[in-house]
Structure 1
Amino acid sequence: MQLYHHPYSLDSQRVRLALEEKGIDYTSHHLSPITGKNMDSSFFRMNPSGKLPLFQNGAHIIFDTIEIIQYIERVAAVSSGADETSFSSREVIEWMQKIQEWNSKYFTLSHIPEKYRILVSKFIRRVIIARMAESPNLASAYHCKLREAYETEEKLKNEQVVKRSKEHLIRLLDEIETKLNDSTYLAGEEFSMADVILIPVLSRLVLLNLEDEYISSRPSIAEYWVLVQQRPSFRKVIGRYFGGWRKYKTLIKTWCFLNFRSIFRKY
């Protein structure tokens, strides 16, 4: 089983958490969306959207995050000889879908200084144009990604787009806070795939230095956040990249790579 992912990708974190929680072995392929590695033609042929993660088991390829996680559950059940009761319940799936409905892109980008955001956006557009020239048979798919990049920049100029994303997040967190008032984890007293979907959202808020506003102000979520950080899966998938000083190492390494490639026009 092959997983194409990157530590910065929210959905990649979700799939990796699921793999670690279920104890599934896989081959890891890092593709940085910030440096445009997900635009390489070899990956683009498998997934013309260029989005991460991509899960491959033989000829079977899955792009949708929840579908990947449910597939992982089935693999784990077959491997352990468990029955269907080990799969996610309806409540768990409903929470997974509800959290997944919040698109983190505009919220995240709106909290990144404009000069850095524009530099990355310009670099990615140049990467797409370079890959288009290398693989003219994929030109239409690359054109779609190029148009998407321009549309993202335009939408970020619209205050209503960012406002709606923030309001959606607040409603979601308030509902989660109410749920966690009565249970240890999101779907009861046992850790589930619903928690796998939620944890990266909280991690993203911490990375953006928004913990006080969105997590600490909600006592049950704050207690939950402390609890889930103790899990081995969290330490391996998120903690090793973004815990303490490590987040600066991760960010600086990527930023230096991007600037080097920009200076020498190596797209």
Structure 2
Amino acid sequence: MQLYHHPYSLDSQKVRLALEEKGIDYTSFHVNPIVGKNMDSSFFRMNSSAKLPVFKNGSHIIFDTVEITLYIERIAVVSVGNNGNALSSEEVKEWMLKIQEWNPKYFTLSNIPDKYRLFVSKFIRKVVIARMAESPDLASAYHCKLREAYETEEKLKNPDVPKRSKEHLVQLLDEVETKLNETTYLVGHEFTMADVMLIPVLARLVLLDLEDEYINSRPNIAEYWSLVQKRPSYKKVIGRYFSGWRKRKTLIKTWCFLHIRNLLKRY
């Protein structure tokens, strides 16, 4: 089993949390979207959407995050047995889908300073153009990604776009806060795949320095967040890259790499 992912990818974090929680071995391939590695022709031929993660088990390839997570769950039941492993209930699946409905793209980009966001956006467009020249047979697919990059910048100029994303997030968090009045975890008192889907959303808010506004202002979510950070899966998938000083190290490392490639015009 192979997983193409990156620590910056929120959906990648969800899948990796599921793999760690279920104790499934896999081969890891880092594909950094910030420096355009998801645009390399080898990856692009496999997934022309260029989105992460991608999960491969033999010839079986899955792109959808919820589908991958449920597939991992089935593998755990078959390979390990029912000892501590069970398929998700309908309520868990409903929460998984509800959380996945929130697209973090515009919310995240709108909370990044313009100078950094525009620098990365321009670099990615240059990467796409370079890959297009290298693989003319994929030119039409690359052209779609180039158009998508321009459309994203145009949408960010419309204040209603990030506003709708924020409203969707607030509604979701309010529902979670209410639910956690009754339970320790999102669905009952046992950790489930619904929690796997929620944890990276909270981690993204912390990464954007929005913890006080969205997490600490909700007592139940704040308590829940403190609890889930203690799990070994969180420490391995998210904590090792973004907890405390590691956050600065991870971001500076990528930023320096990005600037060097840009100066050398190595797209």
Deviation at 1:81, TM superposition (A): 2.5
Alignment of 1:41-190 (within 5 A): 41-82=41-82, 86-190=86-190
Q: Equivalents in 1 of 2:108, 2:251: separation in Å?
A: 15
Q: Is structure 2 residue 255 aligned with structure 1 residue 261?
A: no
Residue by residue over 1:164-223, the C-alpha shift from the partner in whole angstroms, topping out at 9 and shown as x without a partner, is 000000000000000001100001110000000000000000010000000000000000
Alpha carbon RMSD of aligned pairs, Å?
1.1
Residue by residue over 1:114-167, the C-alpha shift from the partner in whole angstroms, topping out at 9 and shown as x without a partner, is 011000000000000000000011111101111110010000000000100000
Residue by residue over 1:227-258, the C-alpha shift from the partner in whole angstroms, topping out at 9 and shown as x without a partner, is 00000000000000000000000000000000
Give the equivalent residue in structure 2 for 1:241: 241
Give the equivalent residue in structure 1 for 2:226: 226
Q: Is structure 2 residue 188 aligned with structure 1 residue 191?
A: no
Q: Is structure 2 residue 204 aligned with structure 1 residue 204?
A: yes
Q: Equivalents in 2 of 1:144, 1:68: separation in Å?
A: 25
Secondary structure, aligned partner of 1:28: strand
Give the equivalent residue in structure 2 for 1:21: 21
Unaligned runs of 5+ in 1: none
Letter in 1 for 2:111: H
Residue by residue over 1:49-85, the C-alpha shift from the partner in whole angstroms, topping out at 9 and shown as x without a partner, is 00000000111100000000011011101002229x8
Aligned pair count?
267
Letter in 2 for 1:118: L
Question: What's the % identity of the aligned pairs?
Answer: 77
Unaligned runs of 5+ in 2: none
Q: Equivalents in 2 of 1:242, 1:157: separation in Å?
A: 29
Q: Equivalents in 1 of 2:20, 2:66: separation in Å?
A: 16
Q: Equivalents in 1 of 2:266, 2:188: separation in Å?
A: 50
